[in-house]
Amino acid sequence: MSDDEFAEDDGLYDEDGLLKDEGDFRDKSNLINSVHKIFDIKKKGRGAIRHEAVKDVEEFVAVKRRSGPGSSLNKLLESVKQSGEEKTVDKVSKLVKAPSLKSLKTLETPLEKPQALKAKRTVLYENAKRDLSRFNPIVYHNRVADQLVYPLNAGKKALKLSSTERVADSIPMTPLEEEMARVLYGEEYVKQKKAELEKPKGPSDAEAYALSVEEALNMHSEMARLRAQQSYKMAKAKRQNKIKSKKYHRLLRKEKIRKQLKEFEEMQKKDPEGAMLKLEELNKSRVEERMSLKHRNTSKWAKMHAARAKYNKDSRIALSEQLKISKDLTQKVEESDSDDDDLECDIPHLVKSSLDNPWMLRPEVRDSDKLNVYYSGYKKLWEEINEKKDKERKRQEVQTIKNKQHVKKLGDEFQNDNIESEDLLVEDNETDKSGLDPESSAAKSAQERKAEKKKKLRQKQKNNKAKKKIIVPETTTSTTTVVYDNDDPDFTELDLDIMIEEAEDKIKDEAIRKLRKLSKVEKLEKKKSEQQSKRAAKRTKNKSKEMMRGDADEIRDLDVDSAEQLLENVGGETGASLALTSVNGGVGRQINPDKQDTSKVIIDPNNYLKITKKAGGKKAKFDGNGMNKVEFDAFLNNEAASSGEDDDDDDDQRKLIAEAFEDDDVVDEFRLRKEEEIDALKPKDVDLCLPGWGEWGGKGIVPNPKKRKRFLIKAAPLPPRKDAALSHVILNEEVGEKVKEHLVRELPFPFKRVKDYEKTIRAPVGRTWLPEQATKDLVAPRVITRLGAIIEPLDEDVLPKMKGGSLKVPISIKRLARVKKIASK
Amino acid sequence: MSVPEDPLVVSTAVGKHSRGKGLSSNLDVKMGIRKTKILRKEAKIVSGVERAARSEILLVEDSGGIEVDEGEHTLQLKQFDITKKIDIASATKGFHLSLDEFGPYKLRYTNNGRYLVLGGRKGHIAAFDWVTKNLMCEIGVRESVHDVVWLHNENMFAAAQKEWTYIYDNQGIEIHCLKSMDRVINLDFLPYHFLLVGGHQSGYLSWVDVSIGKIVSQFNARSGPVAIMTTNPANAVVHCGHTNGTVSLWAPTVRKSLASILCHGCPLSAVAVDNVGRLMATSGRDGSMRIWDLRNSYTPLLSVKVGISSLLQFSQRGLLAMATSTDAMIFSEVSHKTKPYLKHVANSQISSMQFCPFEDVLGVGTNRGFDSVIVPGAGEPNFDALERNPYQSKGQRCEAEIKGLLEKIQPELITLDNNILGEVDTHAVSSSLDKKPNYVKKKDIQLAHRKKRKNAKLPKIKEGLRTELNLKLAKSEHQTKKREEQSKKTIQMSDDDPLSRFAKKSK
């Protein structure tokens, strides 16, 4: 494109045709001539007269004539004016609207070539950009698309539906299809689809949503406006949220409260009931807030004491007490299973071990050493107080136990009433034992007793609720019957002493009432049978000792089946020894093999109870004092030993084992091992101190501690161990190097956070873990090309067609035009 | 188009298949296109989970169970009572083999639960289809047999004998003699890794890759004979119980135990891990049994005194069998609330026990034979035929073998944490970042979750200042170096060069 063309294109000089022609003046003389021709009046009259035929007719002749109408006319008009005919002058001047001389400005100088080129380039760039940007949405769409199938079908993406979607879209027509749909999506869906089928067809989707371009643009601008407003609002809210000034927030809160108060007052006048409700609500929210853990030590009182705590023992105690109370209050209440209908019997001795297990106790966190120092003083005090309280409690408990024993004595007298029978059997044992050494029993920790008590109570309650007694006639020849007392004692314990005590009282009353009815004869009979059973047990024990040495205590725990077997075996003769051994653990049972014909065997699945009792006792111990680590270790050490000291006198085996492992301090060993492990991994400090450097050296001279400190390079502390809080676990901190080889070692490009990337690779893709369709979706190829098909580049056809010329020009294009203008200047 | 809300997708099922918390839309990725792509993939993952949950409607089989009359308890029921009530086909699954002569029997079912191998201590080995009772082979090895185990399918099994470990085929023909596995007392097989695990009398542990016949690893666990050993089916870690009351966890590529847990204050008598690697049951010589949560913190969930149990076994559906001398006690709902479910009394001391996969059967090996005990509700009722197929044909078996070999998991991937492969080696990332010279601007990578700071911009400001400083330093260093070099040159010219005396002296 030449310079001139360019000028023409952009209409730079096309304002006046006359001026345009100036470019044609090539000859200087010509120019002068023509100027003369225009302005010289004398010459003008002559005009260009063709004298003779020439080959080269001067082209400017005609032009000259036409070119100066304005000036010549002016002259004419002036001459007319002089003659005085003004009207004609006006007329003529009106007729001839020629540009005056003033309007004939001189041209601006054309741009220098490089500038002109630059401007041209800019404009070209803008044009090209505008043209190409029309493709932007399509390109974006294609880049984001899950799958592209080439050749692209004239901009229309092949709509791919998964099988389920296709099924869901189809309307069930045949009965079979209906049935299928019912199974797959439910009745509702079928109804809905049927209704759709019956509904007269309205405008199709395309019609319904057809928008003219104008409407679409309007909508677009409306949406943009809304979005902008939303963003302003958000920005404002963000800004306000970020304000940290307390004063501001205080003001804000006050304002809010004031507003609420006002509203409330209004409400009181208008709708008193609603106001009451609101008041309640407010109260409730306040209570909830107070209940939350936020306010444990923020009250004025607590703050005051906290300030004093450093110097004042009393305030320390008060504070800790307060904390304790809050802890107690906020402790999660364990769910109590009191399903009366639940026939399945839990193993009674199952104890929630989080409390039972000493290892749950966390070792003191090292960071809090300062705190420990800080609190150590009042810890002692607290312990003292605890002890006092314990003593008091013990005294009370001893009294209650005495009372209870009284009840128990009464309880011994009755046998058949199943409400009490089993408890009483248990208690029998206890009383026997306590009879042997009452002091030792008194010395039992108070908590233990309490726990026991609770358990018994629970059992009692349970028994009261579920009065179930099953008599299962045996198929064997013997006429013995098994009475299977089915109950479901549960040992989840509630802390609510009051409730328990109430229940206790009730049960006591009931028991006493019932006991009075019982005769003493029964009691005698029972005693006899018990003695007999014990004798039998001893005998069988002696027999079986050699045979089943290691299994004695296992057998002790058999209940129903072993007893059944026993009965069978008594009938038949096979495996008699085994049967006999199975008796030996039965303490809470009455088994009377001698009286086969009439005796009733009461089998109690609760005869694990004594163990439970013990466990419960321990639990209580843990509970009560928050046993520290040393105590716990002692407990563990004793565990083996104590397991032998059951109420069960026959349990030699257990004792034997306990003795065998008494010396092994397993826990201590383990702790040492762990400490070694930790020490081995600890990074060592580097001491660069050179004793004797810059000071006197020699024997007996201690280097300056300041210097030593200065030259000691402390190793960076390791991150906390994973097993820091688990005293019973040693975890290997080092992950195998060989595994690391398989890990991702560099964060791939678009990601900036490791966590984000890890989330994208968290899910498996294979068929082993996912249904077929899901796998296919996940591993679908990005691009599919049909073999042999020609893939054309995108062209105008893919762009949406605009209707006619009624398009509202978007702002961006307007701006573009403006830019162009500026560039042209 | 509206796909109706799936009435058949159970939210619990979705939870089961869930792969953890997904990406949120505020992920820190610059480009819009990439962000959209990533989020779309996330949506696909979620829909995959939903599909998986939805496909659970295809698992139509229900697990078995016992309903007793009011006032009765399942504990009262004996095998006789159970077999009376069930159909004939199922009733045949409960049987007793009287094998008096060859001592305590070890037993093992194949992974699909179809075949059974018995190994008598006194040298009797028998393999058979226990459902049809077709005998595959029966051999006398004339030395003590300590343990037997099937390899990846029913074509091969390994037997730990007096001296060495042997591998037999289903005909009973000795194929291999693994002399490196000597005096093994405990055997196990990891089907996904093709690893035969042996616990030696000498305290060694060894892993042998049976697909290539190589010892992957063999080392001393340093805590006496490996008498109690089991593998965690979820992560293939070996659990060993010791006399000092601990359970130690071992992987082949790490010579130190991955973890050791103090479980009892006395020697252990048995250890078992459940099917999903969630629970571990241990029993000690003090007669207590404890259940441990393996996933999070190794906390004890339950502690029970039940007598010294010599064996513990979990079933597929989470029942726990416990053997004390002649009795096998089975518990249900093993966790906080464990209930006794059934009890079986064998005619002699129980020496081994295993729940049969996909069957409601507990195999019990005793001193004097084998008992197949029916335990309703023990086995998984629905099986994945591509994974473990009880009704596998020969062709399917071949396919499965090849597929298994192709998908073999490398032994170094045995770790406590199964998800380790989905993690980024942050250490490596940070070290590679550190390696870059100071004058290069560092990538802004967030390695771990950052704590909220008072001034959010502070670290950025610091980083910026640091890089600025570094750049400055680098520049100045460069300049000083240049200067030094120049000065050196001049010095050299003046001092070292012998010809320097001829050079023109600048004034």
Q: What is the pLDDT of residue A538?
A: 55
Q: At what angle do helices A246-270 and A272-291 cross, to 10 degrees?
A: 150
Rg (CA), chain B: 32
Closest partner CB to B23 (pick from A352, A723, A756): A756
8 Å CB contact of A658 and B423:
no
CA distance A320 to A428: 42
pLDDT tens column, B32-59: 889 999 999 999 999 999 989 888 888 8
The answer for residues whose C-beta is within 8 angstroms of residue A757's C-beta and 6 or more apart is: A744, A747, A748, A751, B424
For A763, the closest chain B residue by CA position comes to B19
The answer for residues whose C-beta is within 8 angstroms of residue A294's C-beta and 6 or more apart is none
Distance, CA of B391 to CA of B384 (rounded, Å):
11
A225: which residues sit within 8 A by CB, 6+ positions away? none
For residues A710-732, b (16+ Cβ closer than 10 Å) or e, as one string?
eeeeeeeeeeeeebeebbbbbbb
| Region B133-159 average pLDDT | 95
Question: What confidence score (pLDDT) does residue B104 get?
Answer: 95
Q: How far is B280 from chain A (nearest CA, A)?
A: 14
Burial of B155 (0-12, 13-18, 19+ CB in 10 A): middle
CA torsion angle for B97, B100, B105, B110 (degrees, to 10)? Answer: -30
Distance CA B229, CA B185 (A): 9
Q: How far is CA B86 from CA B29, B65, B94, in A?
A: 62, 11, 11
Tokens coding B387 = 């994974």
Residue with tokens 């001389």: A101
- Interface residue A137 vs chain B (CB under 8 A): no
Residues in chain B: 507
CATH assignment, B74-413: 2.130.10.10
| Residues in Cβ contact with A514 at an 8 Å cutoff, skipping those fewer than 6 apart | A414, A417, A419, A420
Residues of B in contact with A344 (CB under 8 A): 73-74, 339
| A-proximal residues of B, 304-343, CB under 8 Å | 304-309, 324-327, 336-340, 343
- Asked if B339's CB is within 8 angstroms of A667's CB, the reply is no
Bigger pLDDT: A570 vs B177: B177
For testing contact with chain B, the best of A342, A352, A468, A558 (most B CBs within 10 A): A558
**Which residues, in sequence order, are bridge partners of residue A576?**
none
CA distance A156 to A138: 10
The reported pLDDT for the residue numbered B185 is 95
- Spatial separation of the C-alpha atoms in residues A246 and A232, rounded to whole Å: 25
Specify the amino acid at residue B239. H
Which of A335, A722, A753, A783 is the mutation pick for testing B, counting most B CBs within 10 A?
Answer: A753
Q: Using pLDDT thresholds of 50, 70 and 90, give the confidence band for residue B270.
A: very high
- The answer to whether the Cβ–Cβ distance between B302 and A352 falls below 8 Å is yes
Within 13 Å and on the Cβ side, how many CA atoms surround A585? 32
Angle at A520 between CA A516 and CA A525, to 5 degrees: 135
| Phi, psi values for residue A587, rounded to 5° | -100, -45
Query: Residues in chain A with pLDDT < 50?
Result: 1-25, 41, 43-45, 62-68, 154-155, 157-158, 337-371, 373-374, 407, 410-446, 463-497, 519, 521, 540-650, 805-806
Asked if A601 contacts A567 with a C-beta cutoff of 8 angstroms, the reply is yes
Q: Is B14 on the interface with A (CB under 8 A)?
A: no
Chain centroid to CA A691: 57
How far is the alpha carbon of B154 from chain A, nearest alpha carbon, in Å?
A: 22
What six digits make up the tokens of A309?
A: 């705590």
Say if B1 is an interface residue toward chain A (CB within 8 Å): yes
Contacts of residue B155, Cβ cutoff 8 Å, sequence gap at least 6: B169, B170, B397
Which chain B residue shows the shortest CA-CA distance from A771?
A: B52
Q: Are A537 and A529 in contact (CB under 8 A)?
A: no
Half-sphere exposure of B195 (CA within 13 A, CB side): 29
Report H helices in B9-78: 11-17, 32-54
Give the mean pLDDT of B163-189.
Answer: 95
- Touching B: A residues 614-643, CB under 8 Å: 615, 636-637, 639-640, 643
Question: What's the Rg (C-alpha) of chain A?
Answer: 52
Q: CA nearest A549 in B: which residue?
A: B325
According to the model, what pLDDT value does residue A36 have?
Answer: 67
| Cα maximum dimension of chain A | 172
What strands lie across the sheet with B174-182, from one edge to the other? B145-150, B156-161, B164-169, B174-182
Residue A217 carries which side chain, given as an amino acid letter? Answer: L
Q: Do B307 and A554 touch (CB under 8 A)?
A: yes
B450 three-state secondary structure: coil
Rounded to an integer, the average pLDDT of B337-353 is 90
Of A351, A639, A770, the CB nearest to B48: A770
CB pairs under 8 A between A and B: 327
The whole-number pLDDT of residue A654 equals 61
The per-residue pLDDT for B279 is 93
Q: Which chain B residues have a beta carbon less than 8 Å from that of A468?
A: 71
User: Which among B160, B162, B127 has a CA at the least distance from the CA of B143?
Assistant: B162
Q: Which residues pair with B205 in a beta bridge?
A: B199, B219
Residue B22: predicted pLDDT: 87
Cβ neighbours of residue A345 under 8 Å, at least 6 residues apart?
A486, A487, A488, A489, A605, B73, B339, B340
- Does the pLDDT at position B151 exceed 60? yes
Q: Which residues contact A728 (CB under 8 A, 6 or more apart)?
A: A359, A670, B261, B262, B263, B298
> Smallest Cβ distance to A611: which of B72, B305, B337?
B305
- Higher per-residue pLDDT: A353 or B253: B253
Q: Is B239 a residue whose pLDDT tops 60? A: yes
Spell out which residues of chain A touch residue B73, defining contact as CB-CB under 8 Å: 343-345, 484, 486, 560
Q: In A10-68, which ranges are continuous DSSP H helix? A: 17-21, 28-39, 41-46, 60-67
- Give the pLDDT mean for B384-402: 93
In B285-326, at which residue ranges do the beta strands (DSSP E only) sit?
Answer: 288-293, 300-305, 311-314, 320-324
Helix, coil or strand: residue B166:
strand
Whether residue A151 has a cis bond before it, omega within 30° of 0: yes
- Residue ranges of domains in chain B: 1-58, 74-413
pLDDT of residue A477: 31
Residue B503 has pLDDT above 50, yes or no: yes
Window from A488-492, B163-167, B206-210 with minimum mean pLDDT:
A488-492
Rounded CA separation B279/A487 (Å): 28
Question: Given this model, what pLDDT does residue A288 score?
Answer: 85
Report CA dihedral (A452, A455, A461, A462) to the nearest 10 degrees.
-140
Distance from CA of A629 to the nearest CA of B (A): 15
| Distance from chain centroid for Cα B495 | 74
Cα of B457 to nearest chain A Cα, Å: 14
Q: Which residue has the tokens 């029970």?
A: B304
Which residues of chain B neighbour A560 with C-beta distances below 8 Å? 73, 75-76, 343
Contact A746, A757 (CB under 8 A): no
| E strand or H helix that includes residue A570 | helix A560-571
Distance from CA of A770 to the nearest CA of B (A): 6
DSSP A650: T
Q: Is B45 on the interface with A (CB under 8 A)?
A: yes
> CB burial class (10 A; 0-12, 13-18, 19+) of residue A178?
middle
Question: And the tokens for A698?
Answer: 């020699």
- Residue of A136, A754, A769, A779 to mutate, testing the B interface (most B Cβ within 10 Å of its Cβ): A754
What is each CA distance from B443 to A361, A747, A786, B318, in whole angstroms?
A: 44, 10, 42, 49
Element (H, E) at A72: helix A69-83
State residue A327's pLDDT score: 82
Evaluate whether B214 touches B196 at the Cβ level (below 8 Å): no
